[in-house]
Chain A
Amino acid sequence: MLEKLEEVKKNIQSEIKSVTALKDAEQLKVKYLGRKGIIQDFMKLIPSLPAEQRAAIGQRINSLKTEVTNIVDELLKKFSGEITSKATHEIFDVTLPGKRPLVGKKHLITQTIDDIKEVFARLGFDVVYGPEVESEYYNFEALNIPADHPSRTDFDTFYIKNDVILRSQTSTVQIRVMEKQKPPIRIIAPGRVYRPDTVDARHSFMFHQVEGLLVDEGVSFADLRGVLNQFIKTYFGRDVQMRFRPSFFPFTEPSAEVDISCSLCKGKGCSVCSYSGWVEILGAGMVDPNVFKAVHYDVEKYTGFAFGMGVERITMLKYGINDIRLFYENDIRFLSQF
């Protein structure tokens, strides 16, 4: 009995090959699955089998039936489709537009911050956040910017009330982290910052910065150059050159402004780089001993570096965006480009 079933299975496989039209498929169906078909004939034999075999054989017949039904249905479907399309002369136009699913995008500023996080995470930097509304102390005094000091002029600030301000830089997070934690420290702190600037194509009263800080024993300016070079080559491209220029920030000494070779003119000089071939992208330096003193670190034992960059600025440079306001208008035609 079982051998016979196997034989039927084989026969079907060979018969499938000769099915070339709907008519053949229908014939196949009648032959095997019809009321007087081959499978029905097997079914009729079951009662005559020994009781202990009935269940097993019955199962085999059933599974064969399912198998054949599937095969036949497939064939019927295949050839009936052929007939309809041929009959109506409908030609499927593969050049019709595809039906696209809805796709959203992260804001370009988020993408840039994520790119920055990615580079620094690989170098062992943790991401930390700090409050946007801050005590003056964290924004100024602890960062070696005393009251009545001319360097405060470079940091115009929104005030909430006496002693409470909207942070004008993410450097505030440096102090908050160092107050809580002893070296080694390796962090970046992205976030919103605020300055009372009138809005135009280049200025906004709110923008984003990423601050970085690394403190340990034996950290040098050469390490700072190495870490920033790694960031620049990853974010802006392998062929971009880096340049350090001496500058002044109250919380770092030595301080530097870091330029990259203008990617638009390849250093030849254009309006983006004010014909200098270089564009400034961030400020950096070795943490000033006065900052370490504010958080009670041993200034002989530890050295460190800090850097800060404007997220909008580097994004605008990378993508050639000419107006900072585009970031906050959230025009979907803009957001969907990136």
Chain B
Amino acid sequence: MTNTGLVVADIQSVEDDFCIDVEVTSNRPDCLGVIGIAREVAAVVGASVQYPKTNYTSTDIEVSKLISIAVEEPILCPHYTARIVRHITVKPSPEWMQKRLKCIGLRPVNNIVDITNYVMMETGQPLHAFDLDKLSDKKIIVRRAKSGEEIVAINGARRALFHDMLVIADGKRPVAIAGIMGGKDTEVSESTRHILLECAQFEPRQVRRTSKATGIASDSSYRFERGIDPEGVELASKRAVKLINDYAEGEVAHGVNDIRSGRYEKKRITLRIERLNKVLGLEIKRDVASDILKRLQFNILNEVDTFIDVEVPSYRGEVYREIDLIEEVARIYGYNNIPTKTSISVRGSVKSKYEIVEDSVRHFLTGIGFYEAKTFSIVDTSPLQSVNLWSDRAGVDIANPLRQEESRLRTCLLPSLIRTRIYNMHHGVEQARIFEIAKVYLAGEKLPEEKTCLSILADIDFLTLKGIVESLLASLGITSKCEWMAFDGSILFKADKSAKIQLGNNILGYIGEVKELEFKTSPCMVELDLDLLVKMSNFSKYFQMLSQYPPVLRDLAIIVDEEVTWASIEKCILAANISFMTAINFFDIYYGKQIPSGKKSIAFNLCFQAFDRTLKSEEVDVAQQMILDSLYKTLGAELRKQ
């Protein structure tokens, strides 16, 4: 069974019998009854199905004399039948029936209710019994609800009804929500003498919408939503009457009051053998396919070597195309009897630039001791989580959140990394280096903008983290220089130790020391626009000639005003435009006794190297003096005397 599509989830022994729990997928409503399961078993093992008995004796009184039926909405209710049994005895149902109902989780009520449930479980066709005496005007009308109407369902739920809902009404009021649940007023009770047995077909979508709108779902609505056998009404109705006749005595009124709009046309489909084999990768002959379809009760209308014309059984509503027949053949033939092909045509696959960058970033960061984290994209609406570095647009809220803690799509990854760091601290991890690559969601026109970010948090100082960012950029071949601009810190960073990073005309990200006070250490963190890194990355490389001549290093220390930034010093040095200067290396900043107040000493070294000659000491001296002059003129920098 499991191998043909009905997963047997559990088998339990119940006294002298067994209860088999079968998972039925939503495309197989025909298997929502024992008969349907029996048909499947018969097809698999090659046996035939024995249907339950429906014989009973009826009296002379015609059903149509006892009740009149009108269906105002034939599209929503294509078929409605009523049968009547009078002078019944309401009492507990027989032991065997109670036992069977209980083992599938249904609570026995009385013989009438139990029989309608039992037959539904047998045939898959829902039924409902009304107390005939309680139906006003001896009328059943299948109509839309009128505004202002309401109903108390059998389960006690009171619901207001609206025009888009289909109801079963008597002469005065709704007595059932069509296909979903009957009303309390007209339910079968100890005192019921005569019953009307409804067996009908309702339009699946209508039932589903109303079930959702009223919040009432039942075994009945479950089956109607999925679609019942359009030819199944008669069997179920007769079977129920037979059981009522057997176990509640009573006199069965003659005939049935049956309102049906149009006849059901069986679907006809052609299965091409070549197509079957092409889709499945098989080489089976027509007779194999035809035998399988016959076992599944498909009526073979015509068959030749190249195709089979079939008529689909009424209860297989989901089979309406050739591909559906192909699936039928495949599952009975056995998915595992279909070959496992081991060759596939050639197709080159190319890594996208995004993937290359993502891989490089992970490689780089894990290589220097960082662990990758994965945190939830849906966060709470606290001020910390609401921080939005990238846009001043509002966050994207979830309309139906499960909990307040997860109700908004995040606009920043850093708060999640802070939480991850705290979580680890509480679990005894003293130092941590973590990063995450994930999206932030910035409100947009229809769909939000999804920006991929890289965030890093570590127990390291600002300049170390900055250095990591710089090396990372270098590893991605990004040679353009970033601008690091002082930043107010927002809610995330310490205001005096944070910066906005600009790359070209774009904001690359934000860096700084974590403001959060809970930490014993002073971790730093950064959030970068990964999409921008992808755009700017450049992995084409070309060999750079190595100089054969010795480099000349000059250590310098200058005294400047405290406000003068390294960036301006560097810029000034470069402005001197010395062609053979190859590097500027900052190494120290010093405030102290020897330095006048309001000033600082900056030490760095310059590297000079030419590609065509050994530099002479004198020419380096000249270059150095040009640089010092430029520093003096622009920044008032003076060479610090040793």
Binding site for B on A (CB under 8 A): 101-107, 109-110, 120-121, 123-127, 129, 131-135, 148-151, 153-154, 158-161, 164, 166, 184, 186, 192, 194, 196-198, 205-206, 216, 218, 220-223, 225-227, 229-230, 242-248, 253-256, 286, 288-289, 303, 327-333, 335-336
Contact = CB atoms under 8 A, between A and B. Distances in A.
B617 interface: no
B398 A166 contact: yes
Given A124-B344, A223-B344, A332-B432, A246 B327 contact: yes
Nearest to A229: B340
Interface in B278-325: 278-282, 321, 323-324
Nearest to B417: A330
A158 B349 contact: no
B372 A192 contact: no
Contacts of B350: 126
A225 B381 CA distance: 46
B7 interface: yes
Given A246-B331, A247-B5, A253-B323, A205 B278 contact: no
Contact of A106 (B3, B226, B362): B362
Interface in B204-238: 204-205, 208-209, 225-226
A335 B346 contact: no
Contacts of A223: 281, 341, 344
Interface stretch (B110-118, B182-190, B439-447, B469-477): B439-447
A245 B401 contact: no
Contact of B330 (A110, A221, A330, A331): A221
A226 B450 CA distance: 36
A160 B374 contact: no
B5 A330 contact: no
A230 B325 CA distance: 28
18 contacts: A102-B433, A103-B369, A104-B365, A121-B351, A159-B398, A186-B347, A194-B378, A220-B280, A221-B338, A223-B344, A225-B340, A226-B340, A245-B3, A248-B5, A248-B27, A328-B374, A329-B423, A330-B424
B402 A253 contact: no
B375 to A, nearest CB: 6
B561 to A, nearest CB: 39
Contacts of A226: 340-344
A133 B371 contact: no
Which 4 residue pairs across A and B have the least CB separation, nearest first? A222-B281, A102-B369, A220-B281, A124-B347
B418 to A, nearest CB: 12
B326 interface: yes
Counting chain B residues whose Cβ lies within 8 A of the other chain, the interface size class is 35 or more
Contacts, number: 227
Nearest to A228: B340
B506 interface: no
B352 interface: yes
B349 A125 contact: yes
B374 A104 contact: no
B393 interface: no
B427 A150 contact: no
A206 B378 contact: yes
Contacts of B225: 150
A243 B447 CA distance: 40
A124 B340 contact: no
A121 B409 CA distance: 32
B603 interface: no
Interface in B30-48: none
Contacts of A186: 347, 349
B399 A160 contact: yes
Interface string B396-414: 1111111000100100000
Given A102-B368, A246-B335, A248-B25, A124 B429 contact: no
A332 B371 contact: yes
Contacts of B335: 221, 244-246, 254, 256
B515 to A, nearest CB: 21
Given A148-B205, A159-B398, 18 more contacts: A102-B433, A103-B366, A105-B372, A106-B362, A110-B374, A127-B351, A153-B26, A184-B345, A197-B402, A205-B402, A225-B281, A225-B338, A225-B339, A226-B342, A243-B336, A332-B432, A333-B427, A335-B371
Contacts of B351: 121, 127
Contacts of B278: 218, 220, 303
A245 B372 contact: no
A38 B594 CA distance: 50
A198 B344 contact: no
Contacts of A166: 378, 398, 409
Given A109-B374, A153-B26, A333 B279 contact: no
B434 interface: yes
B216 to A, nearest CB: 15
Contacts of B2: 245
Contacts of B342: 226, 229-230
A165 to B, nearest CB: 9
A205 B406 contact: yes
B52 interface: no
A328 B376 contact: yes
B420 interface: yes
Contacts of A198: 402
Contacts of B368: 102, 104
B81 interface: no
Contacts of B326: 253-254
A247 B25 CA distance: 7
Interface string B98-116: 0000000000000000000
Contacts of B330: 221, 246, 254
Contacts of B156: none
B28 interface: yes
Contacts of A328: 374-376
B373 interface: yes
Given A133-B441, A135-B446, A154-B26, A246 B5 contact: yes
A335 B369 contact: no
Contacts of A194: 377-378
A33 B367 CA distance: 47
Contact of B327 (A153, A216, A253): A253
Nearest to A288: B323
Contacts of A127: 351-352, 355
B390 interface: no
A104 B424 contact: no
B399 A161 contact: yes
Contact of A222 (B339, B362, B375): B339
B348 interface: yes
Contacts of A106: 362, 366, 372
B370 interface: yes
Contact of B346 (A124, A132, A154, A220): A124
B447 A134 contact: yes
A178 to B, nearest CB: 16
B441 A248 contact: no
A220 B279 contact: yes
Contacts of A197: 402
